[in-house]
């Protein structure tokens, strides 16, 4: 099964409430790996993005969709809506993961930092 390996996209892009780290801000403990791995917050220990979660299923998302490769972290909002958290708002949105997102029947909310940019169309 594939795992996070060198990906640290969630450490750079997503909120960590214990650290008061907002979405879109790189964690201060990010370096070549987590510099406080043994004492990292609980939410860091339990977070599983949709790509990682899919790896244990019969239909794993492809390796190129891993967030550090695709620039997109798939997850969901507190509302339960599927969401794509993106690190670089200016990056092109024409790669395979974007084509995949446009095929989904439930619209995916695009999140840039704390801002809800709109739906992926």
DSSP assignment of 50-79, as one string?
HHHHHTTSSSPPPGGGSHHHHSEEEEE-TT
Q: Tell whether residue 74 is a contact of ligand SF4 (CB under 6 A).
A: no
- How many degrees, rounded to 5, is the angle at CA 85 between CA 56 and CA 6? 55
Q: Tell whether residue 84 is a contact of ligand SF4 (CB under 6 A).
A: no
Q: Which is nearer to ligand SF4, 36 or 102 (CB)?
A: 36
Residue from 23, 25, 34, 95 touching ligand SF4 (CB under 6 A): that is 34
Task: Tell me how far, at minimum, the Cβ of 34 lies from ligand SF4, in Å.
Answer: 3
Determine the interface stretch with ligand SF4 among 39-47, 86-94, 102-110, 112-120 (rule: CB under 6 A). 39-47
Within a 10 A sphere around the Cβ of 107, how many other Cβ atoms?
14
Determine the interface stretch with ligand SF4 among 10-18, 93-101, 102-110, 111-119 (rule: CB under 6 A). 10-18
Rounded distance between C-alpha atoms, residue 57 and residue 35, angstroms: 30
Query: 16: which DSSP letter?
Result: B
Query: Among candidates 32, 12, 31, 19, which has minimal Cα distance to 85?
Result: 12
Q: Tell whether residue 86 is a contact of ligand SF4 (CB under 6 A).
A: no
Binding site for ligand SF4 (CB under 6 A): 4, 7-11, 16, 27, 29-30, 34, 36, 40-41, 44, 47-49, 51-52, 66-67, 73
């Amino acid at each position: 099964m594939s795992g996070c390996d060198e990906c640290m996209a969630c450490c750079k892009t997503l909120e960590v409430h214990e650290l008061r780290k907002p979405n879109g801000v790189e964690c201060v403990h990010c370096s070549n790996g987590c510099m406080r791995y043994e004492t990292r917050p609980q939410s860091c220990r339990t977070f599983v993005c949709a790509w990682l979660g899919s790896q244990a299923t019969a239909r794993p998302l492809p390796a190129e969709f891993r967030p550090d490769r695709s620039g997109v972290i798939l997850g969901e909002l507190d509302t339960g809506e599927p969401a794509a958290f993106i690190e670089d708002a200016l990056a092109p949105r024409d790669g395979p993961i974007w084509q995949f997102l446009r095929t989904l029947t439930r619209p995916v909310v695009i999140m840039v930092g704390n801002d809800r940019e709109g739906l992926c169309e």
